[in-house]
Amino acid sequence: MRSIVLHTEEIDDMELAVEELSSKAEGFQLEENSFGIVFVDEETEYEELYEGIREKWDIPFVGATAIATLNDREGYCRSGITIMLLTASDVKFAVGMTPALSVDNYMEPIKETYEQLESELDGEEVKLVLTFGGKAPEMAGDDIVEAIDAMGKGVKVYGALASDMFSFQNYRAICNERIAKDAQAFVLIAGNVEPKFLSIKSLSGKANFSYEVTKSKGNVVYRLGNGTFLEALDKSGLSTDKTLVVAEFIQTPFITSFEKKDGIKVEAMRNLTRLNREDGSGLFLGGIYEGSSLEIGLLNQDDVRTTVRQAFDEILEWLKTDGKDCSTILCCSCAARFLALGYNGLLEAESFQGRLPEGVSLIGLYSYGEFCPTGEDDWCNVFHNSTFTILCL
């Protein structure tokens, strides 16, 4: 598989943007099977952009809106349009998007979309699912992972939720001409591909806050121990009078430990978004299970920078040995890390910019949640928050 990344800061004139993007792809030839990944600023007129890029490259596109993006050329891009073109003769891609999802109706639409795309691969085994989502607010990111896992496919899932500038109103998922807030876009990949994954939590420690979750549903936590979620915050001096509390807790993500159905123990980070003062509950981006533990971690700029550097040190060493055939890297970093860095993604971009081998391209985004498997032999798909994830192809 070969790939190339294109970027323009132009978001006001789509004709000019497309010309600039296409000029940067000069000489890059598409093979038998291809698709594109597109990350755009939330203010981009995507429908007009799609008309232009489809004329240039008659291939399917998936993607999302993003607070900011990463790529191997410019490193960190605070705004603009970033596209990756992927092409191969020995790899097949099937691209599609679900209809609208809701907390009461997400399993069946995901199943139907997945099975339709799988049928387009003519019986070849799915090796990887890429997914970019714009889930309904009440849904947990885990719902997407669990819907795919429930099919019993044993396939690894990588991707991210769309993001906006923390309004939680303008994020969108993208698939060809469609751009939707509450749908999930998929790319099923089969053929000669062996993905490698890495995920990094960047915590400098934990706060004095540790409870068992005694009542929860999906991504809503009602009770911790013998009291409400809000009472537990009060006891720790962490309560707030606000309802929307993303900014207040973005650098103190919650950590939940639980056991997956297959017995694999998982520690995942979760961002608190809303408080409900009527019932004392808290709404999170990711799911938190009854019987699991819940703690609070401490996120700081120095640890974010150090851990991502270490991750790319590991990836670069792998590229010299087992990863010599790798030409494509996708990465997703959480919006919480974006804020912890002071809106300065340069600190993560410097971990890879100018260090990748010739012929290896990289695209990434800052998201509201990351999909990435954890573990090696005993692996499982996990929905993450406050995490930096890497996929090598």
Question: Given pLDDT bands bounded at 50, 70 and 90, which one contains residue 251?
Answer: confident
What CA dihedral angle connects 50, 43, 333 and 143, to 10 degrees? -70
pLDDT tens, residue by residue, 6-16: 999 999 999 99
| Domain residue limits, the chain | 2-200+302-392, 205-298
Residue keyed to tokens 């990463």: 70
pLDDT digits (tens, 9 = 90+) for 10-63: 999 999 999 999 999 999 999 999 999 999 999 999 999 999 999 999 999 999
d(CA 323, CA 337): 28
Which residues are registered as beta bridge partners of 69?
A: 77, 365
Q: Which of these, 223, 6, 301, 261, lies nearest to 145 by C-alpha position?
A: 261
The answer to whether residues 286 and 383 touch, using CB atoms and an 8 Å cutoff, is yes
Strands 361-367 and 69-71: antiparallel
- pLDDT at residue number 241: 85
pLDDT at 199: 94
Classify the C-alpha dihedral 278-283-289-295 as positive or negative: negative
Distance of CA 19 to the CA centre of its chain: 28
Q: Measured between alpha carbons, how far is 85 from 58 in angstroms, rounded to an integer?
A: 11
Please answer whether residues 348 and 337 qualify as being in contact, where contact means their C-beta atoms are separated by less than 8 angstroms: yes
What's the confidence (pLDDT) of residue 303?
Answer: 83
Res. 135 pLDDT band, cuts 50 70 90? confident
